Amino acid sequence: MTFAGKVAIVTGASSGIGRATALALARAGARVAAVGRPRGALDAVAAEIAAIVPASPPALTIVTDITGAAAPDAIVGEVVSAAGGIDVLVNAAGIIATASTDQTPDEMWDRMMDINVRAPFRMMRAAYPHLKARKGAIVNVSSVNGLRAFAGVSVYCASKAALDHLTRCAAPDWAPDSVRVNAVNPGVTVTNLHRRGGMDEEKYAAFLERSKTTHPLGRPGRPEEVAALILFLASDDAGWMTGETIPIDGGRHLTCAR
């Protein structure tokens, strides 16, 4: 797979799956626009990209809150101004929080939906005219929770199910313009997601250990493994695929609740 001459926006690029995807796209030849909130982490990603591909144009780093009213148009405008267009959009930013349905406050619902669904929708809409011009591709980072129900994370599950269906609905809307829209549905992947969602180190270590029994392949995933699938879906090799939501979860979606 090659992305030589292509421009890719990756949200949530400061860590986890977003970071791994930004680095993988750069290795494959893309000029990457890394979007996130922590400047230091984004600068580190840009520096790593510069070390990987020193002769290429530098990565763009865009420090912003993607839920801001003007953020999607500003991100797209900056990338198009600097790089000339957009070929790939990867919506990797996301959050998780834990609460049973009856204990979920409105604020948790609103925040989860804002980041996990509304922000990707608005990024897709803002980028669409430029993706149309280049027959580009969108890959949304969803979750196995969008495909299956799990106790204690009902809002997260609902947000990822909504992102999955947004993916499926946008695909036929934009297929006549050769803009493809797909999603990946990771299982437990070793990132900062759950720790940022409130797990301390002891609970997170126990969670990863338990993942060895809840995933048929016997382990949690690595961000680089998910990034590899994202690159395939964004590439010309997947040129006849759109509207797909693909589990990459060590078989987790095949299991019963336990």
Percent of the chain with pLDDT over 90: 90
| pLDDT grade for 195, boundaries at 50, 70 and 90 | confident
Class of domain 7-254: alpha beta
Residue 1 has pLDDT above 90, yes or no: no
Residue-level pLDDT at 197: 73
The pLDDT score that the predictor gives to residue 204 is 86
Q: Looking at the predicted structure, is the pLDDT value of residue 258 above 70?
A: no
Q: Which of 53-57, 93-97, 193-197, 253-257 has the lowest mean pLDDT?
A: 193-197
Q: How far apart, in Å, are the Cα atoms of 162 and each of 18, 104, 111, 143, 183?
A: 20, 18, 14, 11, 12
Q: Which amino acid is at 103?
A: Q
Full-model pTM: 0.96
For the segment 60-81, the average pLDDT, to the nearest whole number, is 98
Convert the pLDDT of each residue in 40-65 to its tens digit: 999 999 999 999 888 778 999 999 99
User: Does residue 154 have a pLDDT over 80?
Assistant: yes
pLDDT in tens, 217-254: 999 999 999 999 999 999 999 999 999 999 999 999 99
Average pLDDT over residues 66-89: 98
Cα–Cα distance measured from residue 44 to residue 49, given in angstroms and rounded to the nearest whole number:
9
Q: Where are the domains of the chain?
A: 7-254
Mean pLDDT of 13-32: 97
3-state class (DSSP) for residue 88 = strand
Question: Strand 7-11 vs strand 245-248: parallel, antiparallel, or unpaired?
Answer: unpaired
pLDDT at position 192 is 82
Structure-derived torsion over alpha carbons of residues 168, 152, 187, 161, reported in degrees to the nearest 10? 0
Q: Cα separation of 142 and 155, whole Å?
A: 13
> Active-site residue numbers?
156
Average pLDDT, the chain: 95
pLDDT for the residue 67 = 98
Average pLDDT of 157-174? Answer: 98
Q: How far apart are CA 236 and CA 240, in angstroms?
A: 9
pLDDT of res. 200: 84
Q: What is the pLDDT of residue 187?
A: 95
